[in-house]
Amino acid sequence: PGITDFVGRAKYGAWEKLKGMSAEKAMQTYIGKLTEFR
């Protein structure tokens, strides 16, 4: 993403941070976050 694309850079950074995580672990983390918001 370009330097002025703040949303794109944030999304890229979020994906980059999760690089290497298995799909199963990603699902467990997602479900855990959802239950925190309930």
pLDDT at 34: 93
Query: What phi and psi values does residue 28 have, to the nearest 5 degrees?
Result: -65, -40
Q: Can you give the residue range of the structural domain that contains 15?
A: 6-37
1-38 pLDDT, tens digit per residue, is: 788 999 999 999 988 988 999 999 999 999 999 999 88
pLDDT at 24: 96
Distance, CA of 7 to CA of 35 (rounded, Å): 25
26 lies in some domain: yes
Count of domains for the chain: 1
1 lies in some domain: no
Among 19, 18, 16, smallest CA distance to 33 is for: 18
pLDDT at 15: 86
